[in-house]
């Protein structure tokens, strides 16, 4: 079975398991109709990720994200992937200065664009999930145009939104320390942007040799 077939089979199986658990535990506090409504909403969200429709936010700001293409993804080895972002990683949010609502809206904008691109790639034959026993390393390289005076320090860039929405749950089971390490480098480049390498931790030397 191909990758797409496996993904769909696993998705269907997980839904079947969820419904079976709901039925077995049905009581006055469990609304099966509500379960199906939740699944329908889940389907709509999945369809959105693979569409060109704007994302409607539920808050009163009515802000929307057009989910533009923001990165190119390629498999450059048996266990290695390269992500080329069109600009730097998003700026780290200061939750002490921003309200949680505003911060969440900003993160959602990046998150939906990241998810759009990674979901597209997950249906590509080049996608292959790591084994649950594997530990991976994520190497961030920030390229800076020397004439660009608006760039940020490395410690102001947010790796979390990328790891949460691109790596965790897609390539690896989760981003706990048993499964993932990361490092950040910077160097001068033709234009200001971030590139990311993902590989098994044992391959870190070969990644550093590439850059």
Over the stretch 45-75, which tens digit does the pLDDT of each residue have? 555 445 544 444 333 233 334 567 889 999 9
Closest CA to 135 of 92, 179, 197: 179
Measure CA 128 to chain center.
15
User: Are 210 and 80 a contacting pair, CB within 8 Å?
Assistant: no
User: Are 92 and 156 a contacting pair, CB within 8 Å?
Assistant: yes
In this prediction, residue 179 carries a pLDDT of: 96
Instruction: Please state the length of the chain.
Output: 211
Q: What is the pLDDT of residues 129-155, one digit of tens each?
A: 999 999 999 999 999 998 887 777 888
User: Are 199 and 80 a contacting pair, CB within 8 Å?
Assistant: yes
Longest dimension (CA), the chain: 65
Distance CA 165, CA 137 (A): 16
* For residue 1, pLDDT beyond 50: no
User: Are 74 and 82 a contacting pair, CB within 8 Å?
Assistant: yes
Beta bridge partners of 65: 55
Q: What is the pLDDT of residues 91-101, one digit of tens each?
A: 876 555 555 55
Does the pTM of the predicted model rise above 0.85? no
Distance CA 40, CA 35 (A): 9
């Amino acid at each position: 079975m191909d990758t797409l077939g496996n993904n769909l089979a696993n998705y269907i199986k997980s839904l079947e398991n969820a419904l079976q658990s709901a039925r077995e535990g049905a009581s006055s506090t469990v609304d099966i109709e509500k379960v199906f409504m939740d699944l329908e909403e889940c389907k709509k969200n999945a369809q959105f990720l693979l569409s060109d429709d704007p994302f409607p936010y539920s808050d009163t700001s009515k802000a929307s994200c057009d989910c533009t293409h923001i990165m190119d993804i390629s498999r450059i080895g048996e266990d290695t992937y390269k992500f080329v972002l069109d600009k730097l990683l998003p700026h780290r949010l200061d939750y002490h200065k921003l309200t949680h609502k505003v911060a969440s809206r900003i993160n959602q904008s990046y998150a939906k664009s990241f998810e759009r691109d990674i979901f597209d790639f997950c249906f590509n034959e080049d996608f292959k999930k790591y084994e649950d026993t594997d530990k991976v390393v994520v190497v961030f390289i920030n390229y800076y145009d020397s004439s660009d005076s608006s760039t940020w320090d490395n410690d102001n860039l947010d790796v979390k939104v990328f790891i949460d929405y691109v790596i965790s749950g897609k390539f690896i089971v989760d981003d706990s320390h048993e499964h993932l390490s990361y490092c950040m480098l910077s160097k001068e480049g033709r234009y200001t942007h971030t590139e990311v390498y993902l590989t098994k931790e044992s391959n870190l030397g070969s990644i550093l040799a590439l850059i």
